[in-house]
Structure 1
């Protein structure tokens, strides 16, 4: 299948999945995606333990990023570790969304191998590492290597039933809010230009490998609230929506806007995946938005699972200036390092929705 899936085909595929409820996963012992996938720091024991907590809570799917730099350095080892991870996830009942590229290098560093820097005390996601990194994205001479990476990983797992979906490029063009601590997302015009072209090529390369799984890239740029309620109008977001088999989007926002976003995206007539959400300080809460997405047949993937080295229980830098309750109220994540939930009410709600979904499907 070398063309975009038809609406009828992808809706039939989505119906077969049942209700998907997931999270973005980094083990609590990893500070970024390079950290989890290197041989020296691949922590299977922690992954096994933490995914067990998630399965017991009612989750059944997860999203995780892969690192181009590890593939370049240790291709066979990375493939073996992906397979190992998929085995662990599958044993707990999880399907896995694999993300191949990511522009969110909020650390300010280009990706590097070896021991990763320790988290900056008090800073949200301080060592986030991009893949393949801004220097590679903005250098067309690097693109043949990126093409080989994308084709190689998809070819390896294109018929693997443990892989639910290919997310080709996380937040293309994003170099902003976490690194700067400013309220506005800062746009890197050069990066955006190259990322737009590279994203289009990634769709072509992936489709030529003919995977069994559908493809997506998220729309992620939300305008400020005072600018109205048309969302994801940036050209790069519009291209992502036009090329994706399933619609995916990111929305860390209040429930009224989340509702309006879903209503807008439903007009596209395709399955909808909210692949990043949950930001309790800005009104993106499990209590309000998980039932909303369940009723709207949206597959939710919140940010974070276990509080750890990414420090994403802390708010974004701009909110740290305004909020003093980040010890009482976590921004992302749902479990402490010992498996105790941040909120038992949140976990009970998730389990109840899972039971309703299972009984309805039966």
Structure 2
């Protein structure tokens, strides 16, 4: 009995080791070469745009659920973006909307892409997210808290769901379905698989899901590149995995130009095209006028946070609430008022 038990364990361990190696090999073998990444980047005009959610939505759930999907506002506000020369929007999806209404969600994604394409705007879709509220719930979303930055934004899949491996199979179905549906769609610029993994003090707890989403993406192997943006220099394990498995290098930087320039110089060592997928925090000396020319100089794509001031309240700084809800003298993020004036 003991011999048989030991033999069974040995076989199981060997199988798991081989399977793990095959998965790692799949992700590594399907990673784009530097040459392929450079060719892809050269095919596009300089990538400029914003992180987009319509002003009528407080979070990803309110943006995508059937009752609150606001095509009219999306159309109008993407028109504002087109008028100033933006060609790309970074847009967050949410797995709970898919779980509740798979076909309806996919129809609304298609509707969004048609509107964006009408305005000559390509889309970066984001799957998972470790930022802000860890308890997303489907249905009616709460009202914004006056003067509070992103008072209703939701993580995806939330916490502790993000490290509950029993939930990974249904997340795999979601990710692969969306990827397969748009794997060859030229309206999708690239796939941002996981926003700021490890945020909210999760650290390496997010590493298993990060590895899984890269695996699922590379099993589908879409025609667009995949990436996960670097955002916190102390998360060394996560950073290494993200940088070494992304087809293109993406990152976030809300600091002043002297720091940001050093980040660009450091990340250039990867030899891959680069896109800054979050920037612009005016009260931290991170403006269009001192950051955008620098990104253009280095041919780094530029996606700032926020387009139209709305329910996300991102005109307020992360750590400087205004309880009265009065407009700050200097907006933190965002470009337009709801009527399209800057």
Q: Tell me, yes or no, whether TM beats 0.5.
A: yes
Shift of 1:166: 0.5
Equivalent position of 2:146 in the other structure: 121
Rg larger in 1 or in 2?
A: 2
Deviation digits for residues 176-230 of structure 1, max 9, x if unmatched? xxxxxxxxxxx23xxx33311111111111111120000000110046xxxxxxx
Whether the 8 Å CA contact 1:138–1:194 is kept in 2: the answer is: yes
Alpha-carbon distance in 2 for matches of 1:128, 1:112: 11
Equivalent position of 1:287 in the other structure: 289
Shift of 1:135: 2.5
Deviation digits for residues 292-339 of structure 1, max 9, x if unmatched? 00111000110000000000001112x459xxx962210000001110
- Counterpart secondary structure, 1:17: coil
Equivalent position of 2:241 in the other structure: 239
Alpha-carbon distance in 1 for matches of 2:265, 2:318: 27
Query: 1:269 aligned to 268, 271, 277, which one?
Result: 271
Alignment of 1:221 onto 2:248? no
Query: 2:223 aligned to 209, 212, 222, which one?
Result: 212
Equivalent position of 2:262 in the other structure: 260
Equivalent position of 1:178 in the other structure: none
Alpha-carbon distance in 2 for matches of 1:43, 1:320: 28
Quick check: 41-50 or 214-223, which moved more?
214-223
Alignment of 1:68 onto 2:79? no
Alpha-carbon distance in 2 for matches of 1:115, 1:320: 24
What is the aligned-residue RMSD (CA, Å)? 1.6
Query: 1:45 aligned to 72, 76, 79, which one?
Result: 72
Alpha-carbon distance in 1 for matches of 2:30, 2:63: 33
Query: 1:81 aligned to 108, 129, 132, which one?
Result: 108
Equivalent position of 1:169 in the other structure: 194
Shift of 1:70: 0.5
Query: 1:202 aligned to 185, 191, 213, which one?
Result: 213
Which stretches of structure 1, 4 residues or longer, exceed 4 Å deviation after superposition? none
Whether the 8 Å CA contact 1:315–1:326 is kept in 2: the answer is: no
Normalising by the residue count of structure 1, what TM-score does the alignment of the two structures yield? 0.84
Equivalent position of 1:179 in the other structure: none
Equivalent position of 2:336 in the other structure: 335
Change (3 A) 1:220 1:273: same
Deviation digits for residues 69-107 of structure 1, max 9, x if unmatched? 000010000000000000000110001001111111x23
Alignment of 1:131-150 (within 5 A): 131-150=156-175
Whether the 8 Å CA contact 1:219–1:238 is kept in 2: the answer is: no
Whether the 8 Å CA contact 1:216–1:240 is kept in 2: the answer is: yes
Equivalent position of 1:350 in the other structure: none
- Counterpart secondary structure, 2:67: helix
- Counterpart secondary structure, 1:101: strand
Whether the 8 Å CA contact 2:193–2:227 is kept in 1: the answer is: yes
Whether the 8 Å CA contact 2:233–2:239 is kept in 1: the answer is: no
Alignment of 1:304 onto 2:302? no
Shift of 1:122: 1.1
Unpaired segments ≥5 residues, structure 2: 1-25
Shift of 1:65: 0.6
Alpha-carbon distance in 2 for matches of 1:138, 1:246: 26
Alpha-carbon distance in 2 for matches of 1:222, 1:240: 12
